[in-house]
Amino acid sequence: MSQRIDTFTHAGFEFLVRDTGPIDGVPVVLLHGFPQRGSSWDKVAAHLHAAGFRTFAPDQRGYSPGARPKGRKPYRVPELVADVAALIERIGEPVHLVGHDWGAIVAWSVAAEHPDSIRTLTAVSVAHPGAFLKSMTSSTQLFHSWYMALFNITGAMELISRRAPRQLAVALRRSGMDAEMVRTFQREIVEDGALPGGLAWYRALPLTDLRASAGKVAVPTTMVWSTDDVALVRKGAELTERFVTGDYRLEILHGVSHWIPDQAPDVLAEAILDRTGPARPDPAAGA
CB of 28 within 8 A of CB of 95?
Answer: yes
CA distance 227 to 212: 28
Cβ within 8 Å of residue 211, ≥6 positions away:
129, 130, 133
Mean pLDDT, to the nearest integer, of 183-192? 97
Range of the domain at 84: 7-281
Crossing angle for the helix pair 156-163 and 165-174, nearest 10 degrees?
110
* pLDDT above 90: percentage of residues in the chain: 93
On the question of pLDDT at 284 being above 80, the answer is no
Helix (H) or strand (E) holding 96: strand 95-100
pLDDT of residue 241: 97
pLDDT of residue 1: 64
CATH at 55: 3.40.50.1820
Does 286 fall in a domain?
A: no
- CB atoms under 10 Å from CB of 175, counted, come to 16
Phi and psi dihedrals of 16, rounded to 5? -85, 145
Q: Are strands 53-58 and 13-20 parallel, antiparallel or unpaired?
A: antiparallel
Q: How many residues does this entry show for the chain?
A: 287
CA distance 270 to 276: 10
* 101-122 tens-digit pLDDT: 999 999 999 999 999 999 999 9
On the question of pLDDT at 263 being above 90, the answer is yes
CA distance 30 to 98: 5
CA distance 191 to 179: 17
Does 204 fall in a domain?
A: yes
Does 130 fall in a domain?
A: yes
Of the pLDDT bands very low, low, confident and very high (cuts 50, 70, 90), residue 287 is very low
Does 14 fall in a domain?
A: yes
Q: Which residues pair with 7 in a beta bridge?
A: 16
* Nearest alpha-carbon partner for 3 in 107, 90, 123, 61: 90
Q: How many domains does the chain have?
A: 1
Does 287 fall in a domain?
A: no
CA distance 43 to 182: 16
Does 222 fall in a domain?
A: yes
On the question of pLDDT at 213 being above 90, the answer is no
Does 213 fall in a domain?
A: yes
Residue 41 carries which side chain, given as an amino acid letter? W
Does 129 fall in a domain?
A: yes
Cβ within 8 Å of residue 180, ≥6 positions away:
none
